[in-house]
Amino acid sequence: MAERKRPTSVHRRLLSYLLAPLLLLLVAGVAVDHHVIVSPIHSAFDHSLSRAALAIVARIHSRGDGQLDVNLPPRPPLPLRAMPDEHFYYRVSLPDGTTVAGTPELPITPDTQSADGFSYTNINFRGQLFRLASYRTSETGDPLIVTVAETPARRDRAVHRLDVAFLINDTVQMAAVLIIALIGISISLRPLQRLSRQIAGRPAAALNQLQTNEVPAEVLPLVESLNALLGRVRDSVLSQQHFLANAAHQLRTPLTGLKAQLEVLSRETAGTALQERITLLQGGVDRLAHTANQLLTLARAEPSAHRASHFTAVDLPHLIGEVIDSSLDRAVAHGIDLGAECEPVQVTGVYWLLLEVLNNLIDNAIRHTPAGGNITIRCGTTDQRPFLEVDDSGVGIPVEERDKVRERFYRSVRSTNDGSDGCGLGLAIVDEVARVHGAHLSILDGTSGRGVRMRIDFPAAV
Amino acid sequence: MRILLVEDDSLVSDAISRGLIGSGYVVDAVGDAESVASRLSDTHYDLAIVDLGLPGEDGLSLVRRLRRSGSSLPLLIVTARDGLDDRINALDLGADDYLVKPFALPELAARCRALIRRATAAAANEIVIGGLRIDLAGRRALNEKGEVLELTRREWSILECLAHHSGRVVSKERLTQAITGWSEDISGNAIEVHVSRLRSKLGSAATVRGIRGLGYRLEDA
């Protein structure tokens, strides 16, 4: 199987599409800048080199015999002196190539016939690069060529420094552009993030429509088709619930008739051989009735069947009082001590669903607790989360069976105290209702060391 | 005791009639709400059992009509609808009790008995639990032999409070509130002492069951 590709992120794509061209632009920008500054810097340094030639010319005196006297001190002043890491050479020569003063090996630039008499060139002299300037002049009377040469270290340093400055400047600009672009992308992706938060924050089974205001136009068709889909799913869930409710409803009246007829029959045939068979029939009808009731409850416990308006503040101690009122007689009849330990606590919930939950839990507890046992219903708060639990001293549920008992129609092999068995929907209802309330059902060991403790932890109140 | 049964399903109607006749009642069964009026005009009934899902005029409308006409006939609703809204609706309209199908005949019979007794006792301003008769007007309680029980004021208040909520669990706090008219500071232990004295005075007429962590319930002995 092909490895699942990581989902492409709009963020990352935009970023990569921006980053590559921006980097190219940066390189190109620095190159252009370098090109633009090199020639003005060179002409500035050439100009300074020409000043050196002029300074030498100023110190040439023509002696009367036509001989020239170049009067340079041992340490010439700047600009004639080389910087510590530089070399500076000069040569004063005649047009015929005769050297009058300076370094005779120094070459002379070819005459470019420039208006100011200067001509420049780069040479390799004594193994080093030199910038060479020759000045052709007749200031002292006879034509003379004054040639000066310096190592180009200073001008190279200047160009280099400017290059670095441009690079830094351009990089900072690019980074700023990138940051601005990223912020822009984030801001414009915010409606998408809101939308995905809205979808992620919904309860898993919620089928209500997504809000379309504030959804950007580009995503609106997506949200609208999602809403249409949700609508269709909701309709089908509702019609299924409707069908189940109707079916269970329509079952009830004939079941009542059957039950009542069998009871009358049982009374009328008391003491005859028919009694046993009638009792069997009664058991069957009771199971059928119980299943129909549980199915109806389960259908109505479906999360999508509930609107926010069905949720009210439910006082758990009051709920427990209510359920005990209706279960006490059965507990007493089975010789079970039914009690409660209530701390004042409220949850937000659907009252009758919570009533069904507690009824189912107590019903289970009574069926699986032998005479002389006890059942304790507790409510309270742990870590600010309300809880409701039913703790019995009955036969318990083996750990490996605890997940299965939540499944619909799962039939446990554990013994019941009256031979009756449920339809296998009780805990499915409890589990479903817990989910409707964002609560969690845990099946734990009973606190007495025997039995089972069914605990529902509700979400912390907001 | 005569009961009017309004139920359209013949299987159910027949069984309920037989069951209640077996319990010693006289039962007249009709299949729709329209025939109720003529029955009521020429016969006295102690109770009517009304199915909500009737053909034509439904049970809720019948209940509303009866109560508007000023009838105080005890009404027991039986229905396949068990939504909380339906229940509240029926009780608000003036029904006295509500039983969801499918039910067991003995439960129906018990509810009928309770409703009839309640109606009779209300007329006499009495509450009857098992062998115990509580005379609210005379502020006294009589056991099954007709002897007046010697109760202290606090014991009487507790009994009165329990009797008003008979069949239901009454919390200790509620009992405390019922007697704090005489004393402002009463501990839960004090309630236990009063209840245990009351219990021994009731003898075999009725009993007060203590329910761990919740309170007390007055029951038939």
Rg (CA), chain B: 20
- Say if the ipTM goes beyond 0.90: no
How much is the pLDDT for A205? 65
Residue B80 has its nearest CB partner, among A252, A260, A341, at: A252
> B21 CB near a chain A CB, below 8 Å?
no
Q: What is the tens place of the pLDDT at every residue in B188-201?
A: 688 889 999 999 99
> B210 CB near a chain A CB, below 8 Å?
no
How much is the pLDDT for A5? 64
Arithmetic mean of pLDDT over chain B: 86
Question: Tens place of pLDDT for every residue, chain A, 462 residues?
Answer: 445 666 777 777 877 888 888 889 889 988 998 888 888 888 888 888 888 888 888 888 777 666 777 777 666 665 566 667 778 888 888 888 888 888 888 888 888 888 888 888 888 888 888 888 888 888 777 788 888 888 888 888 888 998 899 899 989 988 898 889 888 888 888 888 888 888 888 766 667 787 877 778 888 888 899 889 988 988 887 787 778 777 777 888 888 899 899 999 988 888 888 888 898 898 888 888 888 888 888 877 776 656 667 788 999 999 998 888 888 888 988 999 999 999 999 999 888 889 989 999 999 899 899 999 999 999 999 999 999 999 999 888 888 888 888 888 777 666 666 655 667 788 888 998 898 888 999 999 988 888 899 999 999 876
Interface test with A, best of B6, B8, B9, B12 (most A CBs within 10 A): B12
Q: Which residue of chain B is at minimal alpha-carbon distance from A285?
A: B102
Q: What is the DSSP string of chain B?
A: -EEEEE---HHHHHHHHHHHHHTT-EEEEESSGGGHHHHHHHS--SEEEEESS-SSS-HHHHHHHHHHTT----EEEEES---HHHHHHHHHHT-SEEEESS--HHHHHHHHHHHHHHHHHHHHTEEEETTEEEETTTTEEE-TTSPBP---HHHHHHHHHHHHTTTS-EEHHHHHHHHTTT-S---HHHHHHHHHHHHHHHTTSEEEEEETTTEEEEEE-
Interface of B with A in 57-86 (CB under 8 A): 78, 80-84
Cβ partners under 8 Å of residue A36, min gap 6: none
Q: Do B101 and A258 touch (CB under 8 A)?
A: no
Question: Which domains can be identified in chain A, with CATH numbers?
Answer: 11-62+77-159 (3.30.450), 220-303 (1.10.287.130), 308-457 (3.30.565.10)
Q: Do B14 and A254 touch (CB under 8 A)?
A: no
A47, A187, A329, A335, A338 from B167: Cα distances, Å: 117, 65, 10, 18, 16
> B173 CB near a chain A CB, below 8 Å?
no
Residue B14 has pLDDT above 90, yes or no: yes
Residue A253 has its nearest CB partner, among B12, B22, B84, at: B12
Nearest Cα neighbor of B49 from B84, B14, B15, B98 is: B98
pLDDT greater at residue B221 or residue A383: A383
How much is the pLDDT for B4? 94
Q: Which of A67-81, A446-460, B76-90, B118-132 has the highest mean pLDDT?
A: A446-460
CA distance linking residue B70 with residue B188, whole number of Å? 45
Residue B213 has its nearest CB partner, among A264, A296, A340, at: A340
How much is the pLDDT for A1? 45
> A341 CB near a chain B CB, below 8 Å?
yes
Interface of B with A in 107-136 (CB under 8 A): 108
> A253 CB near a chain B CB, below 8 Å?
yes
